[in-house]
């Protein structure tokens, strides 16, 4: 039996001085009925908690750790950058290098601005779209999470869905009245709204593969319809690739589905585990960003050299031939294993996968939207989470999150995970 004594002591202290004891709500594990473990170290696919318990990690810091933790090349790059200082608040060669790598990787991005989080990236892209078009309406999709900027906290996924809160107190109606949220994968609903209001829509923002309601892929043709309709009405199409960028392909979901958005948002992997976000796209649009244009956006630590170094090192590793094929095969093995043990144990699971992102839903029905995802049995998910943790498997503590497979996960660890899943599911469904 594992001990969690130090994690529990730390959590009691944390709750006295940090809201909910955490610096991001979903980490509090409230929806899975247990307190969080405090992590002390991580190497490769493994993390270790304060009590010395080890786990196979499928959270990967919510996506950034595509190489696995503490990758030697990333550590060397950070150490090298540290030798020259930590922050200057001035242009550096490293931010030019990372900007160039993003532009080389994603053809739709002709110019890019670094920020410090995915939230900053999407918030800035929305402001830019409104400034560029002179319009106010934003369309998003139920269950998609684009960070915690006021105008996007409408029918959001991730922690908002996990805590089952409709939006958030403190967000004035005046801010969200220009935000329309539609069902994901519902082309008819989208076309109808564009027919009615398209001329007033500044932008449509979407997770091209939804990872914040669990993992929900776009249905064939759905993204194409978004592209056609936004082009027809002069609205901008924004791909929020904070999670999918450099994850589902080196060129992101837009490469996978051959869609050219007008703006794209990035985060997570582009920082290699350090705080980095970015937004970019058509040069004629990005030219409106200050100081080149009038749309203001700024950040003290934007382009921080240490973070840039980590991002550069990460992208250099994942662009190596065979990297995506490897993590794709590893993730396919894991998804196949989940499906197999679901049948073997009679557990009602739906397993969705795109690349190295996997969603395991506790429902026997297909999951193609947020409404579908919310039909999942959250109590059984919570039991599964707890049992898997006890067996040394660290899953995202929410039905409305995705699992991430890294380049460091081995076949043995996948097979160990599947064995733990089989035992856990038997205990739950017997
Ligand atoms: P951050 O501000 O948390 O860096 O990024 C916001 C964001 C934007 N867009 C997408 C598609 C995202 O997935 C995110 C953040 N993802 C969640 C996990 N699903 C962050 C985890 C957390 O909130 O602690």
Q: 38-79, pLDDT tens digit by residue?
A: 999 999 999 999 999 999 999 999 999 999 999 999 999 999
pLDDT interval class at 165 (50, 70, 90): low
Strands 350-354 and 263-266: unpaired
Distance CA 157, CA 213 (A): 5
Classified as helix, coil or strand, 371 is helix
Cα 242 to ligand 1 centroid, rounded to whole Å? 7
DSSP, residue by residue, 276-320: -EEEEE-HHHHTTBTTTSSB----TTTT-HHHHHHHHHHHHHHTS
The answer, yes or no, to whether any atom of ligand 1 lies below 6 A from the CB of 241, is no
What letter would DSSP give residue 216?
B
Q: Lowest mean pLDDT: which of 99-103, 149-153, 267-271?
A: 149-153
324 is catalytic: no
The model carries a pTM of 0.97
Q: 255-275, pLDDT tens digit by residue?
A: 999 999 999 999 999 999 999
Classified as helix, coil or strand, 201 is strand
Cα 64 to ligand 1 centroid, rounded to whole Å? 11
Cα 231 to ligand 1 centroid, rounded to whole Å? 27
Mutate to test the pocket of ligand 1, among 31, 242, 272, 358 (most ligand atoms within 8 A of CB): 242
Spell out the domains of the chain, with CATH numbers in brackets: 5-70+321-429 (3.90.1150.10), 72-318 (3.40.640.10)
């Amino acid at each position: 039996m594992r001990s969690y004594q130090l994690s529990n002591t730390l959590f009691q202290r944390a709750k006295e001085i940090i809201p909910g004891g955490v610096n991001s709500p979903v980490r509090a594990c409230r929806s899975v009925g247990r307190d969080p473990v405090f992590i002390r170290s991580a190497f490769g696919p493994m993390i270790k908690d304060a009590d010395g318990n080890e786990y196979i990690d499928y959270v990967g810091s919510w996506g950034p750790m595509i190489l696995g933790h503490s990758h030697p090349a990333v550590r060397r790059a950070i150490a090298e950058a540290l030798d020259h200082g930590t922050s200057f608040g001035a242009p550096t060669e490293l931010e030019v290098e990372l900007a160039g790598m993003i532009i080389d990787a994603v053809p739709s991005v002709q110019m890019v601005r670094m920020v410090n989080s995915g939230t900053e990236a999407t918030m800035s892209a929305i402001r830019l779209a409104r400034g560029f078009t002179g319009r106010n309406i934003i369309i998003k999709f139920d269950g998609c999470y684009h960070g915690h900027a006021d105008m996007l906290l409408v029918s959001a996924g991730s922690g908002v869905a996990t805590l089952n809160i409709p939006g958030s107190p403190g967000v004035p109606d005046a801010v969200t009245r220009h935000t329309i949220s539609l069902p994901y994968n519902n082309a008819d609903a989208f076309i109808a709204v564009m027919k009615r209001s398209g001329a007033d829509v500044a932008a449509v923002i979407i997770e091209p593969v939804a990872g914040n309601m669990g993992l929900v892929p776009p249905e064939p043709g759905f993204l194409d319809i978004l592209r056609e309709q936004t082009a027809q009405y002069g609205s901008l199409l924004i791909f929020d690739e904070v999670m999918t960028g450099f994850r589902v392909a080196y060129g992101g979901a837009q490469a996978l589905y051959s869609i050219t958005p007008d703006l794209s948002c990035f985060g997570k992997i582009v920082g290699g585990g350090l705080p980095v976000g970015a937004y970019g796209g058509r040069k004629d649009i990005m030219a409106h960003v200050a100081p080149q244009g009038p749309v203001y956006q700024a950040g003290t630590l934007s382009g921080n050299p240490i973070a840039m170094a980590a991002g550069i090192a990460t992208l250099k590793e994942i662009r190596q031939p065979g990297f995506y094929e490897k993590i794709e095969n590893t993730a396919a093995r894991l998804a196949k294993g989940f499906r197999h043990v679901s049948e073997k144990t009679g557990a009602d699971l739906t397993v969705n996968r795109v690349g190295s992102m996997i969603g395991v839903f506790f429902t026997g029905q297909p999951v193609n939207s947020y409404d579908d995802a919310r039909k999942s049995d959250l109590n059984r998910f919570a039991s599964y989470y707890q049992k898997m943790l006890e067996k040394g498997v660290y899953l995202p503590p929410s039905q409305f999150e995705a699992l991430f497979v890294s380049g460091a996960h081995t076949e043995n660890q996948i097979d160990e995970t599947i064995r733990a899943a089989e035992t856990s599911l038997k205990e739950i469904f017997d």
